[in-house]
Amino acid sequence: MNASPTATTLGARQHARAQEGTVVEAMPTVPASRWTAPPDGVAAGDLTWAVVVAGGGYAHRSVARGTHVRLGDLTGDACAHVLLLRADEPWERLNPADTTKVAWQVYTAAGQLLLSDAGRVLATVVEDTSGHHDALFGTTTRARNEARYGDGSAQGPSPAGRELLALAAAKHGLGRRDVGPTVSFFQGVTVTADGAPRPTGSAGPGAHVTLRAEVPLLVLVANTAHPLDPRPAFTCSPLEVLAWRGEPTRPDDPLWTAAPEGRRAFENTAEHLTAQGIA
């Protein structure tokens, strides 16, 4: 009788260890400095996070103030649903209503300040080659994906964004109550003059958006089809996430004074961080 190679602890250990080195499309690169194609101007040694997230997957990380997080739509059908929270005080989190109201603008573009519910800047959009984003319609739910695609579970073929974000939040000690409204990148929606939403799809392969953390930041990302994606079949392709060490926005940056509301948001943020000894 031939014994199974994994019938013993020794055999099982050898079998497990032999798997290292397998390469799949969606996986992290650890350490991130081994990532072979850093963005222009970024030293490989400054990379702190490099992962390709499958369509229907998620990623999450606690990052230092000043970290730049670049989201990339590799083949044109990614959709990054993003929730940001203060890493050190997670009851302060992204507030899309304040983000749009304070800016007097609903469409996301470079220069947008992603505001918290506390009158402060969590992150800034410092680069955007896509222009197809959405800050109004949020992410998907299990119930709605079940109705649309037949399944919305995290482990199924068409995972709902809320299910994925709930998992990401749980890994930082947070619960579903902490999964508040989100913004999404790479699948656009515009609003007609009479208030009707119009999905505009993606900008195509290779688009990317870079967020700069202005505070110690918890970044939760679900890569899954947009709730208004009109295609009957669930469609979502891999998302690249790269992060590197950097500097937060300083008072001499034109963005600091680009609008009076934004300047006060930066000032509130600096005041808060200074009191905490962080800045």
Between 60 and 142, name the residue whose CB sits nearer to another protein.
Answer: 142
Phi, psi of 123 (to 5 degrees): -155, 160
β-strand partners of 83? 220
At what angle are helices 260-276 and 96-103 packed, to 10 degrees? 130
| Burial label, 122 (beta-carbon count in 10 A; 0-12, 13-18, 19+) | buried
User: In angstroms, what is the C-alpha Rg of the chain?
Assistant: 20
User: What x/- string results for residues 106 through 125 when contact with another protein is judged by CB under 8 A?
Assistant: xx-------x-xxxx-----
Q: In which residue are the tokens 């940056």 written?
A: 253
CB of 112 to another protein, least distance (A): 11
CB of 14 to another protein, least distance (A): 45
SS3 68: strand
Candidates 76, 156, 180, 199: give the one binding another protein (CB under 8 A): 180
C-alpha 112/C-alpha 89 separation (Å) is 22
Is 57 an interacting residue with respect to another protein (CB under 8 A)?
no
Q: Which residue stretch of 26-34, 132-140, 216-224, 238-246 sits at the interface with another protein (rule: CB under 8 A)?
A: 132-140
Q: Which residue stretch of 41-49, 123-131, 137-145, 247-255 sits at the interface with another protein (rule: CB under 8 A)?
A: 137-145
Is 100 an interacting residue with respect to another protein (CB under 8 A)?
yes
Widest CA span in the chain? 79
Total of chain residues touching another protein, rule CB under 8 A? 48
Between 47 and 165, name the residue whose CB sits nearer to another protein.
Answer: 165
Is 137 an interacting residue with respect to another protein (CB under 8 A)?
yes
β-strand partners of 264? none
Q: Which residue stretch of 20-28, 30-38, 105-113, 249-257 sits at the interface with another protein (rule: CB under 8 A)?
A: 105-113
